[in-house]
Structure 1
Amino acid sequence: MSLADNKCVPCRGGVPPVPNDRAQALLKELGRGWGINTQGHLERLYTFADFAQALTFVNKVGAVAEAEGHHPDLHLAWGKCTVEVWTHKINGLTESDFYLAAKADREFGLLKPSAN
């Protein structure tokens, strides 16, 4: 089972973030391009041939986020979208953040964009 096949679990707060060694192991399971930024959030830049493709991707990831009840920050610009994921209630990473990241990768693959 891939990370994208897992259901995001709502966080009610009061739980610790995943330990760094677990976060690093999960990061290795994600597609290329994912990293942990200086705030400790998962982040990936996706590139597209134009604004319309980037907007389509944002809308698809938004629909997945709504269905999962887990919402990333989506930064849309011409030909690109940065997805930033973390669990807001604990200001850290949970396994569900990695699941949502993998789901974003799945949507990207389904678009078959002309750019990376």
Structure 2
Amino acid sequence: SLQSFGCPGARHSFLTMAACARDSSSTKCIPCESLDPSHLLGADEVKAQLSSSLPLWGIKPLGEEDASSKKGSNSKDVKKEVAGAISRNFTAKNFQCALDAINAMGGIAEREGHHPDFHLTSYRDVEIVLYTHSLGGVSQNDIALAKMFDDEVDVVYSPKWLRQHPEAKRET
């Protein structure tokens, strides 16, 4: 069922599945603690998945402070160029709509046991950054969570931003 928040026109639903993300080939859960550097996705694979099913998301390099201490980032076993993170930016209609979107995504993230970085600036500009913190790069968990955000959260965008980004408009 969809739950209404304080932002007019906002509808958000929360998932009821176990706190985990799914392997792309099955519905079996993969807890982040059990992932190793072999679970990092290559940059080309991430680009392909984003372009085919997550057009609002892009690749973002991680800063040195984010990646340098992670076990996957300096591994000699990882031969592919890995994507640092995936991110999505938008401008909400107002401050409350921005908070509602972040809270709805936060609820999904908590239930899934996989936590993004949320940034709210200029009172309604939102950036969501997803990467598997324990690996220092993008895993299938990040792609799955981004898809859940896009499928389950109806963001109330700024009308101007939505005109500039028609790909964000949902069919009603």
**Superposed pair shares fold, TM > 0.5:** yes
Deviations 1:4-38 (A, max 9, x none): x9x61322242321123321221113333311112
Query: 1:112 Cα deviation (Å)?
Result: 4.5
For residues 32-43 of structure 1, the aligned pairs below 5 Å read: 32-39=55-62, 40-43=84-87
Q: Which amino acid aligns with 1:30?
A: S
- Once the 2 structures are TM-superposed, how far is the Cα of residue 58 of structure 1 from its aligned partner? 0.5
Could you list the runs of 5+ residues in structure 2 that have no partner in the other structure?
1-14, 22-29, 63-83, 163-172
Q: Which residue of 2 aligns with 1:28?
A: 51
Identity over aligned pairs, percent: 32
Query: Could you tell me the TM-score, scaled by structure 2's length?
Result: 0.57
CA distance in 2, matches of 1:111, 1:20: 28
Give the 3-state SS of the residue equivalent to 1:84 in structure 2.
strand
Q: 1:106 aligns with which of 123, 146, 151?
A: 151
Question: Relative contact order (alpha carbons < 8 A, sep ≥ 6): 1 or 2 greater?
Answer: 1
Mapped partners of 1:112, 1:29: distance in 2: 24
Look up the SS of the partner of 1:62 in the other structure.
Answer: helix
Alpha-carbon distance in structure 1 between the residues aligned to 2:54 and 2:134: 26
- Kindly report structure 1 stretches of 4+ aligned residues shifted beyond 6 Å: none
SS at match of 1:29: helix
Count of residue pairs brought into register by the alignment: 110
Residues 1:84 and 2:129 aligned together: yes
Task: Report SS of the residue matched to 2:37.
Answer: coil
Q: Which residue of 2 aligns with 1:70?
A: 114
TM-score normalized by the length of structure 1:
0.82
When you count helix as a share of all residues, which structure comes out higher? Answer: 1
Aligned-pair RMSD on alpha carbons?
2.0
